[in-house]
Amino acid sequence: MPYVDRQNRICGFLDIEENENSGKFLRRYFILDTQQGSLVWFMDNPQNLPIGADCVGSLKLTYISKVSDATKQRPKAEFCFVINAGMRKFFLQANDQQDLVDWVNALNKATKITVPKSSESQQNSENQKILPDVVGPKKQVSYRTDIIGGVPIITQTQHEGGDGANRSEREALQRSHSQLPYFLGRPAQEQSVIKSGYCVKQGAVMRNWKRRYFLLEENAMSYFKSDLEKEPLRMIPLKEVHKVQECKQSDIMMRDNLFEVVTTSRTFYIQADSPVEMHSWIKAISGAIVAQRGPGRSAATPAAAVYLS
C-alpha cells in the first residue's frame, strides 16, 4: 500500500513496464512528490541505496492527462493500471486491488492542476507597493465603461502627464493592469481588452499543461507566457472560432473547470481556476463573437448561448 513519508510524499513499490510494449515488468520504488511536481522511481527505497543514487526514471505531473485501470488492456497483468503522459503510456502493476485504487486516486488527485494563486497574489501585492512610488501621488488615471455584446469593457481615457510620461511610469501602469477584473489596454495596443487573466492550457504537441496569461480583445484572444510579456505566444482570431463551451470530455481528461475553444484548425483546451471563472470566460468570448458578427451569426453553442441570455 502507498504511504506518506515524513516529507509528505506518497511512496511505495510498484512494477513498471519501463520499455513500452515489452511486456516485462520490473520492481521499482515510487515517490509521488506534489511539491516538486514529479513522479520518480528508484531501484529500491533510496534509504537502502548509496547516498546520491540517481532515480531510474521520472515523470513530470504536468505531462499526465489521466490515470486509470488497465486490466482490460493488459489482461495478463494482474492489478494493472496505466498512466497517460503525452505520447507515451506507462503500464504499472500494483500489489493488490486496494493498492491499485489508492495509487490511481493519488495520481489523479495530484495531476488535477489548478491555477497557482500564491505567487500571483504576492506579485500583485508587490505591484501595489511599487506603483505609488513610481507613478507618484499626482498621477491620475481615468477609465470609461462600455457595454459590448452584454460584456462590460473598461478602457483608459486619459491620465495626467500626457506624452511626457516616462518609461518607468508606463511599465508600472502596465503591471497594474492585471489587478483589474476586466482591463483594457496595454499601451502599445489600440484594441480594447474585454477580459484577461491566468489559465492553464494544454499544449498541442506534448499535451502537457502550462500556465498562461490570456487576453481577450474585440477581434482575437491571445495568450502570453506571463502578464509582463508584450509578444503573445499565439493569437486566435475570433472569426476562426466555431464554438466555445464547457468541455464535455473533462471526465476523460480528469480536469475541473475545463472549457474548449474550437477553431478551424484546432481545439484549445483551457482550464480556469474555478467554475465561476470558467463560465465568465465562456460568456466573455461568446459575447465578443456576438459583438463582432452580430446576434444572427454567433459561433456560440446552445450551452454557451445560455450564458449570453
pTM of the model: 0.47
Nearest to 299 by CA among 283, 286, 284: 286
Domains located in the chain, CATH noted: 3-114 (2.30.29.30), 193-293 (2.30.29.30)
pLDDT of residue 62: 87
How many CB atoms lie under 10 A from the CB of residue 266?
A: 12
167-176 and 118-135 are packed helices; what angle lies between their axes, rounded to 10 degrees?
A: 140
- H/E segment holding residue 270: strand 267-271
Q: pLDDT by residue (tens digit) across 185-210? A: 344 444 588 999 999 888 878 778 88
Q: What is the pLDDT along the chain (309 residues), one digit of tens a residue?
A: 788 888 889 999 999 998 888 889 999 999 999 988 999 999 998 888 888 889 999 999 988 888 999 988 888 889 999 999 878 899 999 999 999 999 999 998 888 754 555 454 455 545 544 444 444 454 555 666 665 555 555 666 554 444 444 555 555 444 444 443 333 334 444 458 899 999 988 887 877 888 899 999 989 999 999 988 889 999 999 999 999 999 876 555 667 788 999 998 999 999 888 888 999 999 999 999 988 876 655 454 444 433 443
C-alpha cell at position 144:
470609461
Residues 6+ apart with CB under 8 A from 208: 60, 62, 63, 86, 202
Radius of gyration for the alpha carbons in the chain, expressed in angstroms and rounded? 24
